[in-house]
Amino acid sequence: MMQFTESLPPSLHQQVSPIFSSLMLNKNDNQIQRARPWPGFPTSKNLGTIGDANCMEQLLVHCANAIESNDPTLAQQILWVLNNIAPPDGDSNQRLTCGFLRALIVRAAKIGTCKLLTANLNHSMETHKFSIIELAGFVDLTPWHRFGFTAANGAILEAVEGYSIVHIVDFSLTHCMQIPTLIDAISTRLEGPPLVKLTVAGATEDLPPMLDLSYEELGAKLVNFARSRNVMMEFRVIPSSSSDGFSNVIEQLRVQNLIRPENGEALVINCHMMLHYIPEETTVLSPRFPLDQSSNSSISSFRSMFLKAIRNLDPTIVVLVDEDADFTSNNLVCRLRSAFNYLWIPYDTVDTFLPRGSKQRQWYEADICWKIENVIAHEGLQRLERLEPKNQWVQRMRNANFRSSGFSEDSVSEVKNMLDEHAAGWGLKRDEEDVVLTWKGHNVVFATAWVPL
């Protein structure tokens, strides 16, 4: 964390000390004025109760404004206050704010603001590389990933019923952790299990959670597991990058699709929290991206191009699961507000299932801090975390000529049973034909299922 002296520099005492005094006397004032930027340091009237989440959000916003306007004096004042009210081992709101504090300091260092503040900061964020066993246990801790696994597997099993070959293309952030449960379920099919082909998009970017073994080693373990369930599996990994819409995977699928047997092979596209790493801005068509050149693709984003290319493969089902938030704004303050008002959820939930000081908790929160830093400190191609809310993905799927196939009551019941295994506070809601995971009533993750029109 940032290196500070015990007291403020003399030049700052005059402005900051009265603010602390008035804040401490203002415990019952929760009213916050959110809209206008402050010309100088924020006052207690603007902030409300010190330590309150709204207070911390406002301080972060105005610190971001100070950094963006290259005002190191104001930025230093606010950073000092934040450092004193948001320790890294505090409550969930304090730890959340500490993550944003670090990210703002990294951004300041990158653009040359507040160099004195950043000179002694070690801002590298250590993310843990999981073993298979560790990662399997890690994703089972909360429904954050299990929700999508359960909903998707239910929809996939129903869609591939009767097929003798099932080709699953896995665009997944969690390194195939969904697949063993799917294999278990498919092995008990009444007509006998199909041949399963699993194609994995081996992303070239290092995204948490990270694995400590290669995809080839992972594939060998999955094939052995399938064999233990009397399921024949073929595994293939295609190195690819989200930065160009996984064009390598799309091209190889397109070639393979030309010889796909009629009615004998189901093609499943499973997208689990990976598509938001595809750039969403309008781009010029990549010559390597296999799309219909007659389309007006020169004004499409890679996301739209990816979905249209998937549609051209005529898949049996596409399942899209992702986090329900919007981190796409080009305005830093808008992104900060959106991220702050979404990422409190993992910090809040972690207190229900991991003890303070545990290694798993450190790993969990380091991954969240990586996300915060990427959203706040980086721009351009370096900013990979570009979440879009469910309604925008729904519109993208419709524009690509998919229609929603929804989830059966059996699938929804499976999700409900899974949620019963976790702490109170998690919930499930239906949103038209989709399902949404909630925490204390707030949307967390959505799951959608689609078939070609």
Question: pTM for this one?
Answer: 0.86
Contacts 24+ apart (CB under 8 A), 363-366: 363/127, 363/128, 363/130, 363/138, 363/209, 364/138, 364/141, 365/95, 365/99, 366/125, 366/126, 366/127, 366/128, 366/208
User: Among the three residues 360, 383, 406, which one is the final residue of a domain in this structure?
Assistant: 383
What is the β-pairing status of strands 442-452 and 129-130?
Answer: unpaired
Residue 358 and residue 413 in one domain:
no
Residues 162, 327: Cα–Cα separation, whole Å: 41
Q: Which residue type is seen at 196? A: V
- Here the tokens at position 134 are 């560790």
Residue 410 included in any domain: yes
Encoding tokens for residue 43? 């006052």
At 256 the pLDDT is 84
pLDDT at 114: 60
Low-confidence ranges of the chain (pLDDT < 50): 1-41, 43-46, 119-120, 122-123, 283-298
Which residues, other chains included, contact 428 with Cβ-Cβ below 8 Å and sequence gap of 6+?
147, 412, 415, 416, 419, 435, 436, 437, 438
- Domain membership of residue 341 (yes or no) is yes
Q: Which two tokens stand for residue 256?
A: 């393979």
By CB atoms closer than 10 A (0-12, 13-18, 19+), residue 327 is buried
Asked whether residue 253 falls in the same domain as residue 402, the answer is: yes
pLDDT at residue number 261: 65
* Statement to judge: residues 444 and 401 lie in one domain: yes
* 99 and 59 housed in the same domain: yes
- State whether 170 and 317 are in the same domain: yes
Q: What share of the chain is helix, strand, coil (3-state, %, to 5)?
A: 45, 15, 35
User: What are the tokens at 332?
Assistant: 């830093």
Domain boundary among 343, 368, 383: 383
Do residues 306 and 172 both lie within one domain?
A: yes
15 within a domain of the structure (yes/no): no
Q: What is the pLDDT of residue 125?
A: 57
- Amino acid 313 reads L
Residue-wise DSSP of 246-298: SHHHHHHHHHHHTTPPTTTEEEEEEEES-GGGS--SB-PPPTTS---TTS-GG
State the DSSP H helix or E strand holding residue 167, giving kind and residue range, or none if neither. strand 165-172
Number of separate domains in the chain: 2
Note whether residue 443 is domain-resident. yes
| 228/222 Cα distance (integer angstroms) | 10
| CATH number, domain with residue 273 | 3.40.50
Instruction: Write out the two tokens for 420.
Output: 């019963």
The reported pLDDT for the residue numbered 76 is: 87
Kindly report the CA angle at 33 between 331 and 38, in degrees rounded to 5?
60
Answer yes or no: do 271 and 246 share one domain. Answer: yes
> In sequence order, what DSSP letters do the residues of 398-423 get, joined into one string?
HHTTEEE----HHHHHHHHHHHTTS-
161 falls within a domain: yes
**Would residue 101 count as lying in a domain?**
yes
Give the model's pLDDT for residue 330: 93
- CA-to-CA distance for 385 and 277, rounded, in angstroms? 6
> CB under 8 Å to 375, separation ≥6 — which residues?
103, 327, 335, 336, 339, 383, 385
Strand partners, 430: 435
Look at residues 383, 403, 432 and tell me which one is the last residue of a structural domain.
Answer: 383
In a domain, 43, yes or no: no
Range of the domain at 117: 51-124+325-383
Residue 41: inside a domain: no
Q: Please check whether residue 450 is in contact with residue 404, taking contact to mean a CB–CB distance below 8 angstroms.
A: yes
Sign of CA dihedral 16, 18, 24, 27: negative
d(CA 300, CA 402): 17
Please state, as a whole number, how many other Cβ atoms lie within 10 Å of the Cβ of residue 424: 9
Same domain, 194 and 308: yes
Distance CA 25, CA 250 (A): 61
